[in-house]
């Protein structure tokens, strides 16, 4: 019987492949009255594509150098191992779609499983900011959508609204007011996102209440580059087991005027963030490179590089007041084998979270900086149970330790020695080099005075997002450089500590 079903599945797959069609779209020479099935018989407009009717295995190829105004909408479904694919053909610049501010989302994928879209240029700039995006991937009252991929897109100049996080570059949305809905195998990779508001890559969901928890599974966000972002960089929502790997996020929180950070989860369990870089985040209204946020459990930050962020390296936070609908707290965060260099304001801000482990991190304070290496603040209460173990705190400037006594309008804090109302804050086997004030009791004498513990190459590859054709080479060079950096710092790029 099993052999019969295997043969049947293979036959159906082969039949679907034979029935698949490749369609061509050419904004310069196409004609919608054509069949669309060859470059010489290409369609002309996106409206023709938006009419749909595509089948598993179909390819929709947009001619390089072509340009359209409006929206590309996909609502048809592919099949397992036989997705519907949107790509380009021919040489030249990426096919470009300009929303011109007239559409909410330039690429709109809704209730369309087994779909892959790649190699497009997308803009969406209107006369004034509004709720608009480059890409929306939506699962709406449809159950589980399998295998959706958006990759190798160049998204820029999207002036969305600073009032809403679910506006900007790429948004993935799950709505299940009638039918619980989620993604399984959603991949967002190798995209360049530049000059967008408010978020670069963000989730949005009504499936986050723990009484109707229905997270997306096997979500992968990797190898993306985001720069000049109005608010947040990368923010997965309503996921379980999401993997956020080797993304470069620079200059976030530039225009929102509110609380935003570089890379962080919200209402997401078992997230893993590794080999990401977050830098030059603006403002001390948050303004950290990384954040472990609330209604989340067991978040791991490992082998990330944070530098030159106005608000510091890492926020670990939650309102202490629990709400089983919206907030189970923030418990079990692990921050290990990361490097923070020249981060400002505060390095670690522990605010309400519990059972946190911060270990084997290397912290470098710039000579001119006076920062709070550990700020313990309150959010409807104080944190419990945090372990700081085997970290290097190297203060060429000055590092302070203490708890919140006042918070300023700009998001900065005034602190006093000790941990305030927080309990069970422990320090074990950390190294303290340079000038430390209010350091933990494990420092029984003056801090060590020593040269930089490791020879590290801070000269990373540089990428100009105005030249997207250079991104593949940059991405490979950056990955190799980042791995060398962690090998030099920790001895082994794959080192971990599960104790």
pLDDT tens for 102-111 read 999 999 999 9
Spatial separation of the C-alpha atoms in residues 320 and 376, rounded to whole Å = 13
pLDDT tens for 440-480 read 988 644 455 554 566 899 999 999 999 999 999 999 999 99
Question: Which two tokens mark 163?
Answer: 């009032």
Strands 248-250 and 288-292: unpaired
> What is the end-to-end Cα distance of the chain in Å, rounded?
47
* Torsion sign over Cα 396, 249, 243, 375: positive
Spatial separation of the C-alpha atoms in residues 439 and 417, rounded to whole Å = 9
Output b/e per residue, 324-334; b: 16+ Cβ within 10 A: eeebbbbbbbb
- Residue 394: C-alpha distances to residues 167, 398, 399, 423 (Å): 39, 9, 9, 26
Residues of the chain with pLDDT under 50: 1, 4-15, 444-446, 451, 493, 495-499
- The residue among 204, 221, 331, 194 whose CA lies nearest residue 276 is 221
Domain 261-448, CATH number (from 1.20.272, 2.160.20, 3.30.1120, 3.30.750): 2.160.20
- The residue among 361, 440, 431 whose CA lies nearest residue 403 is 440
For the chain, domain boundaries: 261-448
């Amino acid at each position: 019987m099993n052999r019969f079903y295997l043969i049947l599945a293979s036959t159906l797959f082969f039949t679907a492949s034979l029935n698949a069609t490749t369609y061509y779209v050419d904004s310069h020479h196409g004609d919608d009255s054509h069949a669309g099935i060859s470059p010489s018989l290409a369609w002309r407009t996106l409206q023709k594509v938006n009419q749909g009717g595509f089948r598993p295995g179909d390819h929709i190829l947009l001619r390089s150098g072509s340009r359209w105004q409006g929206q590309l909408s996909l609502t048809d479904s592919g099949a397992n191992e036989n997705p519907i694919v949107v790509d380009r053909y021919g040489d030249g610049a990426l096919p470009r779609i300009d929303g011109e501010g007239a559409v909410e989302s330039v690429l709109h994928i809704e209730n369309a499983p087994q779909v892959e879209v790649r190699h497009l240029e997308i803009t969406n700039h209107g006369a004034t900011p509004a709720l608009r995006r480059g890409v929306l991937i939506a699962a709406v009252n449809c159950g589980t959508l399998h295998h959706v991929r958006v990759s190798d897109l160049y998204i820029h100049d999207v002036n969305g609204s600073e009032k809403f996080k679910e506006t900007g570059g790429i948004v993935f949305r799950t709505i299940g007011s009638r039918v619980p809905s989620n993604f399984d195998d959603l991949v967002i990779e190798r995209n360049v996102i530049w000059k967008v508001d408010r978020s670069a890559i963000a989730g949005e969901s009504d499936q986050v209440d723990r009484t109707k928890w229905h997270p997306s599974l096997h979500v992968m966000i990797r190898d993306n580059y985001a720069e000049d972002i109005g608010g947040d960089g990368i923010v997965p929502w309503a996921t379980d087991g999401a993997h956020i790997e080797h993304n470069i996020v620079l200059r976030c929180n530039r225009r929102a005027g509110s609380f935003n950070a570089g890379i962080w989860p919200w209402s997401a369990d078992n997230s893993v963030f590794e080999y990401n870089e977050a830098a030059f985040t603006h403002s001390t209204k948050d303004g950290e490179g990384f954040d472990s946020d609330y209604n989340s459990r067991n978040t791991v930050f490992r082998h990330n590089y944070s530098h030159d962020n106005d608000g510091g390296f890492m926020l670990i936070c939650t309102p202490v007041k629990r709400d089983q609908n919206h907030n189970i707290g923030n418990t079990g965060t692990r921050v290990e084998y990361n490097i923070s260099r020249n981060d400002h304001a505060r390095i670690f801000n522990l605010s309400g979270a519990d059972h946190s482990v911060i270990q084997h991190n290397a912290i470098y304070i710039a000579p001119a900086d006076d920062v709070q290496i550990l700020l313990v603040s309150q959010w409807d209460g104080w944190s419990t149970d945090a372990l700081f173990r085997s970290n290097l705190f190297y203060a060429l400037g000055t590092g302070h330790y203490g708890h919140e006594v006042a918070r300023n309008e700009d998001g900065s804090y005034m602190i006093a020695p000790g941990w305030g109302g927080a309990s069970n804050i422990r320090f074990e086997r950390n190294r303290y080099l340079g000038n430390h004030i209010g350091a933990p009791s494990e420092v029984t004498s003056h801090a060590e005075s020593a040269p930089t513990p490791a020879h590290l190459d801070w000269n990373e590859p540089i990428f100009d997002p105005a030249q997207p054709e250079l991104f593949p080479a940059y991405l490979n060079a950056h990955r190799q450089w980042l791995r060398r950096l962690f090998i030099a710092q920790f001895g082994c790029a794959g080192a971990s500590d599960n104790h």
